[in-house]
């Protein structure tokens, strides 16, 4: 009786915890409410199954408890029960996976006219690149990565000379503008995650992954790494600020291009060479 009662408490206590506790996500700040709907659907399907299984266990503990004179029967298989379990499991899994496939298709189908930015992960910081006046990002190669070229941009590519390079700083985005996010890692696996955007994608060395989203409200949001990437993983954080169009353009004018950073690096190297005896 005690075990059956505890199982019933676990089932209903789980429901009360879900309804009454403040564990819900942060307020959404992008267009990906579809992801919330999909997670909710998955939660309720798995939650109903969990409660049904726990209550069934409680029923079995109570119904088939030991009683004087009762003998257990041996039934190694039940075709009818196996069919029911197979069909019910298949329907439940399909119900959970199908909405996710539609959402994933939306997640990687970038609308025309979306602005492109690049996020580069390395142990243990985030770097960013935005297109310059030409509206195009230049090419890059991990073999170009050096102290003076942290993102590995191709110095021979004219399209990359005006690219805005932000090393370990804040990323700014204009509100209401669709953005295609290109993701690249120069060392190990990382994962770009902004909870308020419902945006999450792995950065895989040797590959360029991507997704898109539209920021829907201004504010400051934290970037997390959601893939264990070494001893400094928990400190691999960044900041993305969603501005009004005017504030974004004002911030953009204050940033330096790849050509400007390269020129400063050369000047610093020349000064150092002149100082040395």
pLDDT, residue 269, reads: 56
Q: Average pLDDT in the 240-250 region?
A: 92
For the record, the structure tokens of 130 come out as 């935005």
Coil, helix or strand at residue 277: coil
Which residues are CB-neighbours of 100 under 8 A, at least 6 positions away? 38, 42
pLDDT band, very low/low/confident/very high, at 242 (cuts 50, 70, 90) = very high
Cβ-in-10-Å burial (0-12, 13-18, 19+) of 20 comes to exposed
Per-residue pLDDT tens over the stretch 61-100: 888 777 787 777 777 788 888 898 899 889 888 887 888 8
pLDDT band, very low/low/confident/very high, at 277 (cuts 50, 70, 90) = low
pLDDT, residue 247, reads: 92
pLDDT, residue 23, reads: 65
Q: Average pLDDT in the 189-216 region?
A: 92
pLDDT, residue 36, reads: 85
pTM: predicted TM-score of the whole model, two decimal places: 0.77
Per-residue pLDDT tens over the stretch 183-200: 999 889 999 999 999 888
Q: Average pLDDT in the 15-25 region?
A: 75
Distance CA 72, CA 66 (A): 9
Reply yes or no on whether the pLDDT at 273 is more than 70: no
For the record, the structure tokens of 50 come out as 């969990």
Reply yes or no on whether the pLDDT at 267 is more than 70: no
Q: Average pLDDT in the 27-43 region?
A: 86
Higher pLDDT, 242 or 64: 242
pLDDT, residue 173, reads: 94
For the record, the structure tokens of 56 come out as 């069934």
Higher pLDDT, 1 or 4: 4
Q: What are the residue boundaries of the structural domains of the chain, listed by start?
A: 2-64+78-108, 115-272
pLDDT band, very low/low/confident/very high, at 266 (cuts 50, 70, 90) = low
CATH placement of domain 115-272: 2.60.40.420
Reply yes or no on whether the pLDDT at 276 is more than 80: no
pLDDT, residue 271, reads: 60
pLDDT, residue 192, reads: 94
> What beta strand segments (E) does the chain contain?
115-122, 125-130, 164-167, 171-174, 179-185, 190-194, 199-203, 209-213, 219-225, 237-243
Phi first, then psi: what are they for 150, rounded to 5°? Answer: -65, -25
Please state, for a pLDDT cut of 90, what percent of the chain lies above it.
29
Per-residue pLDDT tens over the stretch 93-109: 888 788 888 888 888 89
80-89, 133-142, 147-156 — which one is most confidently predicted on average? 80-89
């Amino acid at each position: 009786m005690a075990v059956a009662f505890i199982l019933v408490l676990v089932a209903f206590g789980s429901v009360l915890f879900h309804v009454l506790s403040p564990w819900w996500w942060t307020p959404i700040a992008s267009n990906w409410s579809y992801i919330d709907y999909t997670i909710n659907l998955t939660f309720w399907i798995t939650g109903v199954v969990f409660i049904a299984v726990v209550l069934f266990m409680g029923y079995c503990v109570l119904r088939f408890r030991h009683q004087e004179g009762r003998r257990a029967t041996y039934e190694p298989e039940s075709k009818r029960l196996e069919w029911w379990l197979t069909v019910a499991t298949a329907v439940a899994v399909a119900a959970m996976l199908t909405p996710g496939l539609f959402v994933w298709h939306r997640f990687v189908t970038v609308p025309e006219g979306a602005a492109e930015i690049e996020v580069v992960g390395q142990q243990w910081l985030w770097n960013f690149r935005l297109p310059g006046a030409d509206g195009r990002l230049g090419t890059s190669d991990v073999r170009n990565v050096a102290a003076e070229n942290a993102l590995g941009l191709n110095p021979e590519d004219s399209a990359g000379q005006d690219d805005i390079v932000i090393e370990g700083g804040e990323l700014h985005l204009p509100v209401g503008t669709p953005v295609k996010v290109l993701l690249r890692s120069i060392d190990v696996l990382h994962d770009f995650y902004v909870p308020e955007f419902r945006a999450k994608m792995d950065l895989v060395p040797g590959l360029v992954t991507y997704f898109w989203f539209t920021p829907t409200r201004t504010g400051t949001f934290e970037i997390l790494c959601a893939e264990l990437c070494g001893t400094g993983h928990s400190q691999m954080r960044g900041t993305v600020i969603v501005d009004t169009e005017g504030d974004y353009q004002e911030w953009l004018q204050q940033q330096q291009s790849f050509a400007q950073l390269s020129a400063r690096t050369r000047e610093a190297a020349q000064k150092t060479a002149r100082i040395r005896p």
